[in-house]
Amino acid sequence: MTNLWKVSTDTFVNEKESIMRMGNVYQIANGYMGYRGTFDEFGPDELVGITIAGIFDRVGDSWREPVNAPNGGYTRLTLDGSEISALTSTVKKHAQNLNLENAVFNRETIYEANGKTVTVNSTRFLSADKPNLGVIKFSLTTDKAAKVKISTGIDCNIWDLNGKHLVNLKLEQNEGALLVHAVTNELGKKVAVAEVVDASFGKATHEVKDNRNLHVIEVDTEAGKTYTFYKYFAVFTENDHVASVNEAAVKAVIEAKNAGYEKCLSNHNAEWAKKWAYCDVKIDGDDEAQQALRYSIFQLLIVAPVNGSANSIPARALSGQVYKGAIFWDTEMFMFPFFLYTYPEKAVELMRYRIKTLDGARRKAKTESIGFEGAFYAWESQDDGDDACTYFNIGDPNTGRDLRTHFRDKQVHISGDVAIAMWEYFKLTGDDSLLLEGGAEVILECARFYFSYAYFQKNKNRYEILDVIGPDEYHERVNNNAFTNMVTKATFEIANATVAYLKEKHPAAFTTLVSKINIEKELPLFVEAEKLLYVPQPNKEGVIEQFDAYFKLRETTIKELKAQMIHPNEYLGAGQGLAVPTKIIKQADVVMMLNMFKDRYPKEIKKANWEYYEPRTEHGSSLSACAYAMVATEFGNIDFAYDYFMRTAKIDIEAKYKVYVGTIFMGGSHPAANGGAWMTAVFGFGGVQSTAKNVVINPRLYKKWNSLQFNMIYKGDRFKVTIGQDKVEVIADAANKASHTFVISGQSLDTAPGKTLSHAAGAKSLA
């Protein structure tokens, strides 16, 4: 039977592309940093990367991107003088696995050289309880007596896409630990990596060679005897707010060494046990779906920001510097719901990140295009909230020229996405502290931005949102994109609700905020805009036009369109893209809107739009399939929903995604799709929808699934929900503080703390 908690392979393919993909699949992370699933002996050419969350750097005119730390996990061997490496030696046998239970990566490789074999077994994890720490257990066994030289330490040859980010690099020894410290090129931020080794065999010396700070351990091995050593490395940056990053790093590794491997591992495991106790989803009857979904959840858990960091999750998570390590709408619209429902303390960090970057959003509004008011969040946001997205963000492989794209200046829905998530947090947790610590300010500034962006069409007596890009990036600078207009309307609604709430519950805080941002005179305008904002309505066939005059675009098929491509990586949008004059869209747009605002549209409208847009959607973004899957569950196309759910859930475990858009390398993991997989399971097949008033469950399980079980948090209270083909069971945790209403298949039921509810999955009550 497949182990549904492990991902494993027993092959090693010595090709760059495979090494890159495996590096993503087997990566580990702990929110503070990610470590790609590469081998101990690999270097920058194999894309070894220890990507640190929340610290960015720019070199010259190149793209600003996250900083990769020097690799404290480096180890290389020689056997009787011959270098041992999976790249150059004979690999007799290899196996590797990633344990999803605790994010521990293990590989065992048998190498052959000079008529002898050496078996290398290494296990590593990034500590879940001490986020700066990485721990490695490394063992080697030779089949015959041999002279083995182990070079282990910190490799300062760093894989950078647009580096070199670390300057003034110093390779030193400090209190028995190796220490590398440097500053970032742009802002001069301090970064330090320390490493210690605990080896009870051989003779160790120190060596600095080829930009590596190393312990060299020489040992004459006995045949068949296993030699094990432990490595502890720590990464600290100025963002950690410690007095000295160097001292903090050294102290961390010495403490870890003193505690020992087993202790570090058991502390780490205890944290992971808690994570899974909250966040696992069990699918009974479908192992493939189970494993893919669990792997997706795992991907989200490893990159959840460290508590107190106010960091967010980049579009390619911590799998490298790809996509500039930037935070997109992906986080709020695709990942945030998972955290909100299962791990709200992480949802708080994601929102704190938007509060932290509010000034950047204000700067962007003022300086973008003709200048606007309020908060226009960065399309690609980094540490300060300024936009990392460039005006020429995609390269054309046919001409080698950069293409003007308007993602940065016209994809205005980003501000509303942030406001919506902020409000969702308040609605579903009942916790208003985020609103008070800056969330309300974010919401009002987003509304202010939209008011300054909107046009009042006097003859039509309505506000319109012109010259934008919706989620479908193939059609730029369009007017009245249904998605964007709806998000704008929702932002006004939320702003008005925020005002009403604060006035009633926190009048003093309200007065302070209003005067701080000088917004009093604008508040009535938001009320008017909520009423008069135009949202495109369904035509007589029930189809909502994606934007003004979309229906007049050329009809074609994706197949026909693709047949015209000159280069396989050519971009279909921007000025001259093949999709631009056609109805082919990149990703869910109207359908995304129907999913986000599912309460506002009846089933028939969802079906009509889904059927119209699906054949015209290229699904050129990993964000697309889950939106179609979720809407399909709403009107009963469960088989389709299942296919698209699997497509989404398997994206990172299978790693068959495209890695180039135009000339830009995009190879990394897909946390938005991971979040989409969770949403499709729980919101789609589970039919769960929480509102400020209650939790609604209208299940529509896939036929193969005997049951779907998950935990959810609502208003700070915990529930275990099991949805079977015939019945729904909800167990309210005994420690819950209040009773909440669950509406299961139309029946309203109360969940007192400790109570178990059971109800027919259809309309009939079992209770």
Q: Looking at the annotation, which residues are catalytic?
A: 473
Tokens 């791990």 -> residue: 343
571 touches ligand BGC by CB under 6 A: no
Residue with smaller CB distance to ligand BGC, 362 or 413: 413
Residue with smaller CB distance to ligand BGC, 470 or 699: 470
Residues 619-638 that bind ligand BGC (CB under 6 A): 621, 623
Query: Least Å distance between CB 288 and ligand BGC?
Result: 25
Q: How far is CA 510 from CA 420, 450, 501, in A?
A: 20, 21, 9
- Decide: helix, strand or coil at residue 700: coil
φ, ψ for residue 70, nearest 5 deg: -55, 145
Q: Distance from first CA to last CA of the chain, Å, rounded?
A: 37
Q: Which of 390, 370, 393, 395 minimizes the C-alpha distance to 378?
A: 390
Query: Least Å distance between CB 606 and ligand BGC?
Result: 21
Residue with smaller CB distance to ligand BGC, 415 or 621: 621
Q: Candidates 204-212, 251-259, 322-330, 336-344 — which segment interacts with ligand BGC by CB under 6 A?
A: 322-330
Q: Candidates 328-336, 353-361, 687-695, 759-767 — which segment interacts with ligand BGC by CB under 6 A?
A: 328-336
Query: Least Å distance between CB 380 and ligand BGC?
Result: 8
Residue with smaller CB distance to ligand BGC, 67 or 623: 623
Name residue 109's beta-bridge partners.
94, 120
**Which helix (H) or strand (E) segment is 33 a member of?**
strand 33-35
Name 346's Cβ contacts closer than 8 Å, sequence gap at least 6.
304, 305, 307, 339
Residue with smaller CB distance to ligand BGC, 215 or 619: 619
Residue with smaller CB distance to ligand BGC, 471 or 724: 471
Query: Least Å distance between CB 594 and ligand BGC?
Result: 17
41 touches ligand BGC by CB under 6 A: no
Alpha carbons 72 and 70: distance in angstroms, whole number: 6
Return the structure tokens found at 355.
């509060």
Q: Which of 330, 368, 409, 545 binds ligand BGC (CB under 6 A)?
A: 330
Alpha carbons 711 and 558: distance in angstroms, whole number: 40
Query: Least Å distance between CB 664 and ligand BGC?
Result: 10
Tokens 């066994």 -> residue: 141
Q: Candidates 218-226, 325-333, 437-445, 550-558 — which segment interacts with ligand BGC by CB under 6 A?
A: 325-333
Q: Which of 138, 329, 353, 645 binds ligand BGC (CB under 6 A)?
A: 329
Q: Candidates 84-92, 192-200, 261-269, 323-331 — which segment interacts with ligand BGC by CB under 6 A?
A: 323-331
User: Site for ligand BGC (CB under 6 A): how many residues?
Assistant: 11
Name residue 523's beta-bridge partners.
none
Query: Least Å distance between CB 661 and ligand BGC?
Result: 7
Alpha carbons 184 and 223: distance in angstroms, whole number: 46
Name 727's Cβ contacts closer than 8 Å, sequence gap at least 6.
758, 759, 760, 761, 766
672 touches ligand BGC by CB under 6 A: yes
Query: Least Å distance between CB 545 and ligand BGC?
Result: 20
What is the four-CA torsion angle of 414, 417, 419, 420, rounded to 10 degrees?
170
Residue with smaller CB distance to ligand BGC, 221 or 411: 411
Tokens 């792997």 -> residue: 295
314 touches ligand BGC by CB under 6 A: no
Query: Least Å distance between CB 388 and ligand BGC?
Result: 12
Residues 184-213 that bind ligand BGC (CB under 6 A): none
Q: Which of 138, 328, 339, 685 binds ligand BGC (CB under 6 A)?
A: 328
Query: Least Å distance between CB 182 and ligand BGC?
Result: 30
Pair 692, 429: CB distance under 8 Å = no
Distance of CA 121 to the CA centre of its chain: 30
Taking each helix axis from N to C end, the angle separating 671-679 and 287-303, rounded to the nearest 10 degrees, works out to: 130
Alpha carbons 50 and 33: distance in angstroms, whole number: 6
Residues 444-503 that bind ligand BGC (CB under 6 A): 471, 473
Alpha carbons 730 and 709: distance in angstroms, whole number: 10
587 touches ligand BGC by CB under 6 A: yes
Residue with smaller CB distance to ligand BGC, 502 or 590: 590
Alpha carbons 664 and 666: distance in angstroms, whole number: 6
Residue with smaller CB distance to ligand BGC, 328 or 714: 328
φ, ψ for residue 566, nearest 5 deg: -90, -35
Q: Where are the beta strands (DSSP E) in 389-440?
A: 394-395, 402-403
Q: Candidates 36-44, 251-259, 324-332, 607-615 — which segment interacts with ligand BGC by CB under 6 A?
A: 324-332
Q: What's the DSSP call for residue 129?
A: S
Residue numbers at the binding site for ligand BGC (CB under 6 A): 315, 328-330, 471, 473, 586-587, 621, 623, 672
